[in-house]
Structures are given as structure tokens and as C-alpha cells.
Amino acid sequence: MPFINERIPEADKASIKSIQYPVGHSHDLSMWTVDREKAAFLVLTARYRDSPSELYFVLSILGKRYQVMLKQEIHLSDSGEAYEYFLESISGEGEAATEAVRQTLKEALAVFAGFYGTAKVASVKFRF
């Protein structure tokens, strides 16, 4: 089963209770992008009003969590919204992010794109 966007089921909310937020911010953790077969999820933890293109996430893969900071650009066209993601930083629990972690992040972001948007997603590009 690929990644999907959904409301976090009550049964799964305990697993994300310990997520750390960026300093001075908390975000409503009611939605996530999840792939249950891979035991992976991506959850948006912050987006600041003063810099809405900066996105902060937690990516979890098989119970290992990674703090992710991205910049997002959205370009509008007649065919919909074109998303472009630039990786600013990714840090794990005592280990560097491998290419497999980056690939899982890309798969999750491809589905996350447009999660909160109002137009059709025309494309998703990664600059990492």
C-alpha cells in the first residue's frame, strides 16, 4: 500500500504524542501521510506565518524518527499547482539520513503535496 493522506486514527495518536515541535510552536497533529506497510509516516509539525515556505516535519520509518526542514515553492498554472521541495536539513536519532530515508521522504512528500491546497497537484519536484 502506498502513502495516503488521512486523519490520524485515535488508536495511532499515542504513537505520535512524543513528537517534538520546533521551539515556540505547536501544530495540530490531526492529519498525517502514512504508509502502514512500510511502517512509515510523515507529519507536519510547524509552518510559520512569517515564512510560510518553511515546513517542519517528523518522518518516522520503522519507529526511527527524523526531524526534517524543507522549503516549499508552489507555482500555479492552468493544469494545477506545481510543488518544488528543497531539503534544508534532516537529522535522525543519532544517525545520518541514508539514501533510503531520503527516498521514503520523497515518496511521502509526493502524496503530501497539495494536502492543504485547493487546486489539483500538477507536479512535484525534489531538489535533493
What are the residue ranges spanned by the domains of the chain? 4-126
**What are the beta bridge partners of residue 86?**
71
Interstrand relation of 4-7 and 31-35 (parallel, antiparallel or unpaired): antiparallel
Selected residue with higher pLDDT from 17 and 53: 53
Write down the pLDDT at residue 102: 96
SS3 content of the chain, % helix, strand, coil (to 5): 15, 50, 35
Task: Say if residue 24's pLDDT is above 80.
Answer: no
- Selection from 85, 84, 82, 86 nearest residue 121 by Cα: 82
Average confidence score pLDDT of the chain: 88
Write down the pLDDT at residue 16: 78
Q: What is the pTM of this model?
A: 0.89
pLDDT, one tens digit per residue, over 52-107 is 899 999 999 999 999 999 999 999 989 999 999 999 999 987 677 799 999 999 99
**What are the beta bridge partners of residue 105?**
none
- With 0-12 / 13-18 / 19 or more C-beta atoms within 10 angstroms meaning exposed / middle / buried, residue 57 is buried
